[in-house]
């Protein structure tokens, strides 16, 4: 069975014109892109899905909300932020796609925003400035994610949660601990969004090999910070010979690991990746919704609680998505010697990041 690959996401083309959306109502948005099989088309039915974006007025939140407004699987879109969200919702609500958009602001409206949601996407929090690491965001973002996840536990405990807020290596364990405390944790439903690493790896490999970027698939494993980001270039498809030399593999790996910093420096104090992140998060949301709708063969790389690699309680790797979220963590493919070393190198940082999240969530 052909898997629904990240590389096949075509954004706007996936939803097409409003006219064709009406004409093909029972067909999944992504089906027309060819990223799901015929079987998926037959088996998957669009069911009404309420989706919330928490941090919707931000640099990521706004373009992400636009992309979700264009997704036919999203019937109701809750936009929540502590500021400026009414204008974003008013603006988006004029787009003539069927998705109903509503703004919510302030803690007192968070419950209503979340009630009935099946997917909650969280880009709330501060972004990096030049010279900062993602860990430097911990002090502010850990508390934001903790309080938002407490609300999710209370108002939509069965929802899938996609966490974008950095440092993802720590905010995902925070979310899991919060849900455990509330007695509603299901490890299949808490996912750190690492799809931007895959998007970048696909783009850079395609550029280097003269390929159409939509044809390229590079699994990226580990976490989402510095050397914890490990692209498996040995497993990239398609393979164009001659493949990369060891020096080129090193350069490409480092570029993928530092791609976030590349954007932070280019934006020179105005924030970090927003548009590419919104694109990657919309793709991840689409895959989650396809899975919830019963489409077979939906695979993504994502950072989840995992026992795939001994020593790491949380780990990003390819998973199969389905009606319950992560249905299966796929086995690790064979790693090159360079990638094995990369896995060793990330050990200290990733375990430290995970522990910091667990400790934060459990302190009094």
Ligand X SMILES: NC(=O)C1=CN([C@@H]2O[C@H](COP(=O)(O)OP(=O)(O)OC[C@H]3O[C@@H](n4cnc5c(N)ncnc54)[C@H](O)[C@@H]3O)[C@@H](O)[C@H]2O)C=CC1
Where in the sequence numbering do the catalytic residues fall?
224
Tell me the number of residues near ligand OAA by CB under 6 A. 11
Burial 151-175 (b: 16+ CB within 10 A, else e): bbbebbeebbbbbbbbbbbbbbbbb
Longest CA–CA span in the chain (Å) reads 59
Closest approach of ligand X to the CB of residue 163, in Å: 8
The residue number with the shortest CB distance to ligand OAA is 260
Sites for ligand X among residues 214-243 (CB under 6 A)? 224
Other C-beta atoms within 10 Å of 320: how many? 17
Cβ proximity of 46 and 252 under 8 Å = no
Q: Which long-range contacts (CB under 8 A, 24 or more apart) does 102-106 make?
A: 102/76, 102/77, 102/78, 103/56, 103/79, 104/78, 104/79, 104/80, 105/80, 105/81, 106/82
Q: Indicate whether 63 belongs to the interface with ligand X (CB under 6 A).
A: no
Q: Indicate whether 361 belongs to the interface with ligand OAA (CB under 6 A).
A: no
Closest approach of ligand X to the CB of residue 42, in Å: 34
Cβ proximity of 153 and 178 under 8 Å = yes
Closest approach of ligand OAA to the CB of residue 204, in Å: 13
Query: Who's near 38: CB < 8 A, 6+ residues apart?
Result: none
210 burial type by CB count under 10 A (0-12 exposed, 13-18 middle, 19+ buried):
exposed
Q: Indicate whether 272 belongs to the interface with ligand OAA (CB under 6 A).
A: yes
Q: How many CA atoms lie within 13 A of 134 on its CB side?
A: 25
- Closer of 25 and 83 to ligand X (Cβ): 83
| Strand partners of residue 318 | 301
Q: Indicate whether 199 belongs to the interface with ligand OAA (CB under 6 A).
A: no
Closest approach of ligand X to the CB of residue 31, in Å: 27
- Closer of 28 and 172 to ligand X (Cβ): 172
CA 149-152-155 angle, to 5 degrees, is 155
Stretch that binds ligand OAA, among 8-16, 127-135, 302-310, 323-331 (CB under 6 A): 127-135
Sites for ligand X among residues 147-166 (CB under 6 A)? 148, 164-166
Closest approach of ligand OAA to the CB of residue 260, in Å: 2
Stretch that binds ligand OAA, among 140-148, 172-180, 215-223, 256-264 (CB under 6 A): 256-264
Q: Indicate whether 103 belongs to the interface with ligand X (CB under 6 A).
A: no
N residues, the chain? 364
Sites for ligand X among residues 2-41 (CB under 6 A)? none
Closest approach of ligand OAA to the CB of residue 192, in Å: 11
Cβ proximity of 5 and 300 under 8 Å = no
Binding ligand OAA (rule: CB under 6 A), the pick from 124, 149, 153, 196 is 196
Which of ligand OAA, ligand X, none is residue 172 near (CB under 5 to 8 Å by kind)?
A: none
Sites for ligand X among residues 270-329 (CB under 6 A)? 271-274, 277
The residue number with the shortest CB distance to ligand X is 58
Binding ligand OAA (rule: CB under 6 A), the pick from 166, 195, 235, 353 is 166
Return the HEC string of 126-140: CCCCCCCCHHHHHHH
Measure the CA–CA gap between 188 and 269, rounded to whole angstroms.
Answer: 36
Residues that bind ligand OAA (CB under 6 A): 127-128, 134, 166, 196, 260-261, 263-264, 272-273
Residue numbers at the binding site for ligand X (CB under 6 A): 54-55, 57-61, 80-83, 123-128, 137, 141, 144, 148, 164-166, 168, 193, 196, 224, 271-274, 277
């Amino acid at each position: 069975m052909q898997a629904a690959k990240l590389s096949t996401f075509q954004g706007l083309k996936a939803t097409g014109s409003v006219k064709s959306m009406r004409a093909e109502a029972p067909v999944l948005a992504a089906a027309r892109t060819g990223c799901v099989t015929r079987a998926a088309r037959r088996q998957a039915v669009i069911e009404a899905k309420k989706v919330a974006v928490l941090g919707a007025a931000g640099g990521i939140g706004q373009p992400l909300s636009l992309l979700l407004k264009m997704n036919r699987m999203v019937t109701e879109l809750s936009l929540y932020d502590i500021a400026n969200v009414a204008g974003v919702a008013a603006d988006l609500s004029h787009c003539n796609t069927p998705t109903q958009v509503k703004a919510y602001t302030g803690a007192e409206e968070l419950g209503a925003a979340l009630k009935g949601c099946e997917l909650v996407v969280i880009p709330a929090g501060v972004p990096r400035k030049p010279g900062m690491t993602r860990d430097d965001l911990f002090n502010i973002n850990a508390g934001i994610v903790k309080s938002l996840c407490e609300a999710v536990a209370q108002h939509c405990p069965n929802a899938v949660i996609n966490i974008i807020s950095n440092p993802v290596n720590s905010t995902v364990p925070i979310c899991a601990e919060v849900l455990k405390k509330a007695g509603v944790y299901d490890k299949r439903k808490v996912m750190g969004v690492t799809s931007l690493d895959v998007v970048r790896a696909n783009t850079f490999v395609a550029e280097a090999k003269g390929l159409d970027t939509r044809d390229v698939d590079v699994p990226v494993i580990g976490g989402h910070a510095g050397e914890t980001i490990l692209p498996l270039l040995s497993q990239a498809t398609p393979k164009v010979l001659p493949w990369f030399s060891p020096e080129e593999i090193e350069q490409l790996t480092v570029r993928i690991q530092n791609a976030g910093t590349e954007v932070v420096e280019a934006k020179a104090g105005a924030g970090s990746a927003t548009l590419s992140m919104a694109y990657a998060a919309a793709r991840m949301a689409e895959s989650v919704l396809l899975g919830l709708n019963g489409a077979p063969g939906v695979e993504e790389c994502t950072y989840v609680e995992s026992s795939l690699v001994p020593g790491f309680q949380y780990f990003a790797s390819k998973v199969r998505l389905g009606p319950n979220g992560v249905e299966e963590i796929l086995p690790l493919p064979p790693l090159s010697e360079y990638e094995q070393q990369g896995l060793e190198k990330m050990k200290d940082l990733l375990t430290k990041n995970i522990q910091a999240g667990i400790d934060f969530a459990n302190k009094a």
